Every structure is written in structure tokens, then in C-alpha cells.
Structure 1
Amino acid sequence: MSKEFTTKDVGEHNTVDKGLYIIVDNNVYEMSSFVDEHPGGAKILKRVGGKDASKQFWKYHNESVLKKYSERLKVGTLKESAKL
């Protein structure tokens, strides 16, 4: 079962040291192990750490990227009450 997070929970994980979480379409991904692999560079992931990165993600990626990395990087979802 997937863990549920609030936006506050995600916001507290905004650096590689704290665990770099991002939100894409109400799913929460832990990116600290991926920053050095990211083809666009670590700087971009660090900039959106702790935030909803859906808009930025979909601007540069397609569904196949989520399918490829989701199992490895997804740590949970946003709680329904956090989706305001």
C-alpha cells in the first residue's frame, strides 16, 4: 500500500539531504537518488523539490517517462484533503 502525504509533508523534503520529494499529478516521488542521473541536470530537480512539479514535468516529458521510473521513484500519493 502506498503512503499518503500532505503538501506540508512534501514541502519538508525539499533538499537531497532531507529526501527530495516532488509531486506529479498527485503522486509523490523521491528524487534524491536520481538527481545525478537526470538528463536535464540536478539543478532543475532541486528547484522543484518539495513542490508540485506537474506543469514542469509535462512540459518536457511524456507518459513513458513515468512508466519507466515510477516503480523506482514513487513513494506515495497526496492525501485527498491536500489536493486543494
Structure 2
Amino acid sequence: MSCSPRKGFEAEPSREEKQRVMSEGALAREKRALHVTVTNPVQCSLHGRKCTVSVETKLNQSQPDFTKHRSGFVLCVPGN
């Protein structure tokens, strides 16, 4: 006995189909420029406590990395 969706309802898409749609959507979104203005440091809340995340460039940095700082975190990014 085969099960088919009831009339007016669509079958749940497969996992592969969901991933394909998500990746195509992500690719479509990457083609447009997104301009965002962010303050430095960024105020946020972590486990109900206020903290900050600031961004610094470092010349000898090969990959982005977070480090703990007094009241929050510092995101160190590679400098050009």
C-alpha cells in the first residue's frame, strides 16, 4: 500500500532538496551588496550579562580569532 499526500497538501521535501534550495538561496543572496553600519564595540548580552565584542586587525594574524577581554571579547582579523 503506498501513501500519497492528501489532496491539497504537498509531501515534505527531502533533506537533499532542502539543502539544495537553501544553498541556491544563499548563492542568490550573495550576488547583492549588503551595506551594514556597525558600531565598534558591539554591545550584546551573553547569558543575561552585558558584554562587548570589538574588532581589531592584526598584521600577523592568519585567520579570524576571538580572544577574551575585560568586559567581553575581541575579534582579531587578518590585516592587509
**Shared topology, TM-score over 0.5?**
no
Q: Which has the higher contact order (CA 8 A, sep 6+)?
A: 1
The structure that is strand-richer by fraction is 2
**Structure ranking higher in helix proportion:** 1
Name the TM-score, length of structure 2 as normaliser: 0.24
Q: Of the two, which has the highest radius of gyration?
A: 2
**TM-score relative to the length of structure 1:** 0.23
